[in-house]
């Protein structure tokens, strides 16, 4: 499912980006690692497979995808580091999903991830091409004339509501405490997120 993979993949890139910065890895090596992971994540063949009709990913199959992607560059992570990376990726994705007040926002969130990855990937032509192709596929599916339109009324809205239900089922059982969320009073010690009820109601 593209919404899961693209958004969790975006979280993975952000975390790796911050870790490489914190470890003071040489800028050229850091850029190479991030570009390789982005290009493997958005490889046209891989993305084409994500957009095919299919059952919801299991947690095991999702983890396997990201294990392969994380090691698709010269970077190597041991099991403990990969476990921590995946847990933080997942919980960041879960927090974003829970803060979307309408399924339409899933597309907006995904597009923002792609734009952020463009900034991280720099002017590398293959990275730009792959991200643009993925963006176009999302628009084809969720745009005004797409089968899962997030704009027009009708069956597209129903499909978006089914997407929301599927995503909620996917994220519901994972409750991992993360210091980032705990320190900012965004999470309880039992791993449950603290959500705000402020703001306007969804459309």
**193 phi and psi, to 5 degrees?**
-80, 150
The first and second tokens of residue 142, run together, are: 């969720």
pLDDT score at 69: 86
pTM: 0.88
Cα separation of 63 and 57, whole Å?
A: 10
105 to 102, 151, 203: CA distances (angstroms): 6, 11, 11
Q: Which of 194, 198, 159 is nearest to 175 (CA)?
A: 194
Q: Which residues pair with 193 in a beta bridge?
A: 187
**172 phi and psi, to 5 degrees?**
-65, -35
* pLDDT tens per residue across all 203 residues of the chain: 788 999 999 999 999 999 888 888 888 888 888 998 999 999 999 999 988 888 888 888 999 999 888 887 767 788 899 999 999 999 999 999 999 988 888 989 999 999 999 999 888 899 999 999 999 999 888 877 777 766 655 556 777 788 889 999 999 989 999 998 999 999 999 999 998 888 777 76
Are the C-beta atoms of residues 177 and 185 closer than 8 Å to each other?
Answer: no
């Amino acid at each position: 499912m593209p919404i899961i993979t693209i958004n969790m993949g975006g979280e993975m890139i952000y975390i790796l980006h911050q870790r490489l910065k914190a470890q003071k890895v040489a800028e050229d090596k850091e850029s190479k690692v991030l570009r390789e992971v982005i290009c493997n994540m958005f490889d046209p063949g891989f993305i084409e497979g994500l957009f095919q009709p299919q059952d919801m990913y299991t947690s095991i199959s999702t983890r396997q995808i990201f294990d392969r992607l994380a090691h698709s560059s010269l970077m190597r992570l041991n099991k403990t580091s990969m476990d921590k990376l995946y847990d933080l990726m997942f919980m960041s994705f879960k927090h974003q999903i829970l803060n979307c007040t309408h399924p339409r926002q899933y597309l907006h969130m995904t597009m923002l991830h792609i734009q952020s990855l463009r900034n991280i990937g720099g002017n590398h032509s293959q990275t730009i091409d792959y991200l643009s192709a993925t963006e176009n596929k999302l628009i084809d599916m969720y745009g005004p004339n797409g089968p899962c339109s997030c704009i027009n009324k009708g069956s597209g809205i129903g499909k978006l509501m089914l997407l929301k239900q599927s995503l909620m089922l996917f994220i519901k059982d994972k409750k991992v405490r993360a210091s980032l969320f705990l320190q900012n009073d965004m999470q309880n010690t039992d791993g449950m997120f603290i959500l705000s009820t402020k703001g306007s109601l969804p459309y």
